[in-house]
Amino acid sequence: MELSLVLFTVLGQMAVGMTVMMVLREWKMSEVPGISSSLSGQWVLAGLVVLAALVASIFHLGHPEHSYRALVHLSTSWLSREILFYLLFGCLIVIGFFAIQKRSPSRGILIKVTGVVGLIAVVSSGMVYSPPSFPALNNGIPIFFFMLTAFILGSAFASYFVEEEKQSLLVYILISSLVVGLIVNLLIPSIWLSGGKVMQMTGKAYYGSVLYWLRLAGEFGLGLAVLGMMKKIPAWLPIILLAGELLGRIMVFSHVVNTSVNMGILY
Amino acid sequence: MKKQLGFFHDSHLCIGCNTCAIACKNQYHQEVGVVWRRVVSLSEEIYPHRERAFRSLACNHCENPVCLEVCPVQAYTKREKDGVVIHNQDRCIGCGNCIRSCPYGVPQFNPVLKKAEKCSLCWQRLDAGLDPACVQACPTKALQLIDLATFDDPSATQKAPGFPDFPKINPSIRFREPRLPEVVRRETL
């Protein structure tokens, strides 16, 4: 299990989610970024989080001093593309920060471009983690999981920068994401159980894991219950959701079975 | 078809002695726990007899290698002249993406160098006109070096039970399945 990759993927997606929330709020509620200081605070937090994600990613390398070389194989390697798009996303956040501070007229379009580049980075991550060696993930599931992480954590942490009476859009996005997350996370292991031998092993590992049930109850169950009762995002909930997403990602790295473990046995 | 070297493994001839794996270890002195060639025993589901049957497995030097495709630093190359997939350790940064992505579990992490490594099909030996160390060492000739451009054995197959099937990747390995065991009886006097 690679803890640095768990941190990189979850934090990177959280940062993307926070910028996407800014785009959605601007579009849906006609909020102009840069007018409120709390909105630039959200932008700064997204920047710090993606910086932490990129720093964390370096620690899984055997030779971090040569990490810059990871950009040379853009023609076929999704890992090269993932790093490129996350770096681009980070650079756009820095540029966007100054645009917001100076109330530049281009800040609106800059925020949108940053959100789109962030989403492309998340798709690239999904492609990296869907190799043929993991039949359970050799499909669109990683992209879908990663997008869910972005929307859950993005809407949850964006609530720190929005007054309670203006949280309705974020609450709506968070509830929708948690409902989808709960259904998908309950359903997917059962689909794995109907697949080949290695997929079945993955499905059994998920259903048999305490971490899986803990995450369903602690992240999706508790999250939906709290949001249903309070109709707002309490300050402690994003931390619980972050812990749940980290747990979910740890499971992806530790419970999904590789085809090579089954050599000599029927597939 | 271009020249494409690969391994041929005859499970009928293989006695599971592990000489191929040991010859590889002798040739390259890999770190403890790092294995480029391994001999796996076929499960009872595949070979339900009292006798056992084996497959000797290493890098398959695939036509479309996943390791080469996913490596972000272009540490892998496929030789034009014979299709051998080589890992260039000087370029490797130890990201582990090839290790995660290869469906045959071929690339291994060297914990001392903190880089990936794998079977090179002994390309230096090939260039010197020699067989790979594992092929040379096999006492029953169960393991052989073949060129898929000229190899034409109707009893050989790429799709074998106990070996994951990935047609797109097209691994350059062929197997001959073990035969059913024969009962030899003494004639009654």
Interface probe, candidates B78, B93, B109, chain A, greatest A C-beta count within 10 A: B93
Burial B42-69 (b: 16+ CB within 10 A, else e): bbeebbeeeeebbbbbbbbbbbebbbbb
Residues of chain B positioned with their CB less than 8 A from the CB of A76? 68-70
Q: What is the pLDDT along chain B (189 residues), one digit of tens a residue?
A: 899 999 999 999 999 999 999 999 999 999 999 999 999 999 999 999 988 999 999 999 999 999 999 999 999 999 999 999 999 999 999 999 999 999 999 999 999 999 999 999 999 999 999 999 999 999 999 999 999 999 999 999 999 999 999 999 999 999 999 998 888 888 876
Burial A100-128 (b: 16+ CB within 10 A, else e): beeeeeebbebbbbbbebbbbbbbbbbbb
Contact criterion met (CB < 8 Å) for A133 and B74: no
In DSSP terms, B174 is beta-bridged to B8
Contact criterion met (CB < 8 Å) for A133 and B101: yes
- Going by the DSSP 8-state scheme, the letter that residue A265 receives in this structure is S
Q: What is the pLDDT of residue A60?
A: 94
Contact criterion met (CB < 8 Å) for A131 and B94: no
Contact criterion met (CB < 8 Å) for B72 and A260: no
- On whether residue A186 sits in a domain, the answer given is yes
Q: What is the pLDDT of residue A27?
A: 77
Q: Are B119 and B24 in contact (CB under 8 A)?
A: yes
Q: Which of residues 57-86 of A touch B (CB under 8 A)?
A: 60-64, 66-67, 69-73, 76-80, 83
Which run of H or of E encompasses A192?
A: helix A168-193
Q: Which residues of B touch A (CB under 8 A)?
A: 40-43, 45-46, 55, 57, 66, 68-74, 91-97, 100-106, 109, 113-115, 161-166, 168-169
Helix axis angle, A197-207 to A168-193, nearest 10° = 130
Distance CA A86, CA A40 (A): 20
Note the pTM of the prediction, 2 decimals: 0.93
- Residue span of the structural domain in which A85 resides: 3-262
Residues of chain A positioned with their CB less than 8 A from the CB of B97? 77, 79, 128
Contact criterion met (CB < 8 Å) for B115 and A76: no
**Which one of B72, B93, B106 has the shortest CB-CB distance to A62?**
B93
Residues of chain A positioned with their CB less than 8 A from the CB of B113? 62
Closest chain A residue to B39, measured at CA: A264
- On whether residue A267 sits in a domain, the answer given is no
- On whether residue A193 sits in a domain, the answer given is yes
Q: What is the pLDDT of residues A243-259, one digit of tens each?
A: 999 999 999 999 999 99
Distance CA A19, CA A38 (A): 13
Residues of chain A positioned with their CB less than 8 A from the CB of B170? none
Distance CA B174, CA A104 (A): 64
- On whether residue A232 sits in a domain, the answer given is yes
ipTM of this complex: 0.91
Q: In the A/B pair of chains, how many CB contacts fall below 8 A?
A: 122
Residues of chain A positioned with their CB less than 8 A from the CB of B115? 62-63
- On whether residue A32 sits in a domain, the answer given is yes
Q: What CATH code is carried by the domain that includes residue A89? A: 1.20.1630.10
Distance CA A260, CA A128 (A): 18
Contact criterion met (CB < 8 Å) for B42 and A264: yes
Q: What is the pLDDT of residue A265?
A: 87
**Number of domains composing chain A:** 1
Which run of H or of E encompasses B87?
A: strand B85-87
Closest chain B residue to A75, measured at CA: B69
Distance CA A43, CA A160 (A): 12
Q: What distance in Å separates residue B123's CA from the closest CA in chain A?
A: 24
Q: What distance in Å separates residue A111's CA from the closest CA in chain B?
A: 29
Q: What distance in Å separates residue B189's CA from the closest CA in chain A?
A: 43
Distance CA A101, CA A108 (A): 12
Q: Which of residues 105-124 of A touch B (CB under 8 A)?
A: none
Distance CA A124, CA A37 (A): 32
Q: Are A40 and A31 in contact (CB under 8 A)?
A: no
Q: Give the contacts of A52 (CB within 8 A, at least 6 positions apart).
A: A7, A11
Low-confidence ranges of chain A (pLDDT < 50): 34
Residues of chain A positioned with their CB less than 8 A from the CB of B45? 265-266
Q: What is the pLDDT of residue A34?
A: 47
Residues of chain A positioned with their CB less than 8 A from the CB of B161? 266-267
